[in-house]
Structure 1
């Protein structure tokens, strides 16, 4: 059960050492770890080079210098790393951010669960962050029906069938809908051995966390989110995730701006209808039941 890690890296000097140590401490190490230096101007590469003697499976791939751009830019860097290996040699692959602190059995557990369920296409643990004022550990509120964007662990067959990731903001929600569309299960678990620390708050890596919330709203429009579902889920997050009310307002602004400007959605009408049917059912019966219902609908159609 071999797996590879592919990590975009852009000025991650404040975080990457903890990620390197947490990968070195994995009970099942990767067969290869491709780190794509996306034009870093800090000491990121120097830190990586310090660990090469003890982590010979690391390979650094360089891209030209450019402005940090989450969403599309991150996936473009990931695709550069993907092109540097023959993925057919591996059963599993993972898009891994380098601002994470993973528990030591993280990949061992994911591999075991993938082996136990041949239709499990993508999986992850749950992301937490440290509150900046109270230093309390807080959940990033990731649903059980999707793998999280900062550590997307994929069965290669599923990844290839969905066509990889779209290079736009919102890619990390759309891919799980695509997986269900092709009859694969997407899931994340909150087991203690799968809980990891996101060293940088989600959505804060470009400009500010408020720009991140605007991108989130824009991404939700692109993947085809139903307006009612988006509004209600945004209100839910307004009391659960900082920056509370203002962050929610920026997210709504991003969604409405994309709508009013007539931006295109990722999928065709059938795909958008599939996503919205799942979301409306989730409002009635919860995301977990809705995800299983949507998955079964597609499996009946596909005969898998």
Structure 2
């Protein structure tokens, strides 16, 4: 099974070598790895270049975007810069962060799952972060959701969902659309991936309204957006999170921001979310 991996990297000199070392040490080697150096001002380019000299299946491309740490379109734009350098001879396409350390059997185990069940469209392990010298589960989202840091898509699923959306929320809507097209999502909790930088730790403050904007663009509607915002505010114990979500939602609504899903897809997404909410209440 051919794995093609794209790694957007912005100022990742402290971690990119560890990520690449874990990937070139896999029991099932990837066919291609493309690192996209996204406007780095540190030693990221030089470190990756050293790997390309040793491993012919690793390549380095460059792109220039904002020098701010922003989620969403910036990451997806970098992904596409790498994607356009690849051919279509992949079975699985992966978007991985540049601060992950994978267990040696990671790709082998994903290949096993994809081969065993042809209806699996996306698969991944779980992210762990270091706290008090111990690696603990990064409990930011549900265990049935694949983190944006380590996405892996079967080729046909990737094509069915229309590739990745150039928007904040791309790593949520991809799963929702996969379910819309009847693909299964698999999380293997035996695959523990060390995440060296907790999600969002370096995000710029200008990103604070993007979550609410993303929920609008995914056609969540007011009530589901409010419930989602409340849940995140409670999880982070910060009322400002709720306010920023709703401000972002109304900013997008008032400016007639373009949706990233169709009306039918939006209806499916809302029904899916309501079913999940009602199930938890029961």
**TM-score for both structures, normalised by structure 1:** 0.82
The equivalences for 1:1-304 within 5 A come to 1-64=1-64, 66-68=66-68, 69-87=70-88, 89-131=89-131, 137-191=136-190, 194-208=191-205, 211-240=206-235, 242=236, 244-286=238-280
Number of residue pairs matched by the alignment:
280
Q: Contact 1:27/1:108 (CA < 8 Å) preserved in 2?
A: yes
Counterpart-to-counterpart distance in 1, 2:59 and 2:268: 39
**5+ residue gaps in structure 1?**
288-304
Is the contact between residue 11 and residue 44 of structure 2 (CA under 8 Å) also seen in structure 1? yes
Could you tell me which runs of 5 or more consecutive residues in structure 2 were left unpaired when the two chains were aligned: none
The residue matched to 1:279 in structure 2 has which SS?
helix
Are 1:144 and 1:189, in contact at CA under 8 Å, matched by a contact in 2?
Answer: no
What SS does the corresponding residue of 1:49 show, helix, strand or coil?
Answer: helix
Instruction: Report which of the two has the higher share of helix.
Output: 1
Q: Cα 1:44–1:31, aligned 2, differ >3 Å: closer, same or farther?
A: same
SS in 2 for 1:257: helix
**Residues 204 and 212, structure 1, Cα contact 8 Å, conserved in 2:** no
- The whole-number CA distance in structure 1 between the counterparts of 2:222 and 2:156 is 33
Higher strand share: 2
Q: What is the deviation of 1:135?
A: 6.7
Change (3 A) 1:273 1:168: same
Q: RMSD of the TM alignment (CA)? A: 2.5
Distance 1:257 1:190, change over 3 A: farther
Deviations 1:2-40 (A, max 9, x none): 111011122211221221222123221211101111222
The alpha-carbon deviation at position 281 of structure 1 amounts to 0.5
- Distance in 1 separating the partners of 2:51 and 2:268: 45
TM-score (normalizing by structure 2): 0.88
Q: Is the 8 A contact 2:128 2:135 kept in 1?
A: no
Displacement of 1:103: 2.0
Between the aligned partners of 2:227 and 2:188, the Cα distance in structure 1 is 24
Displacement of 1:213 after TM fit? 4.4
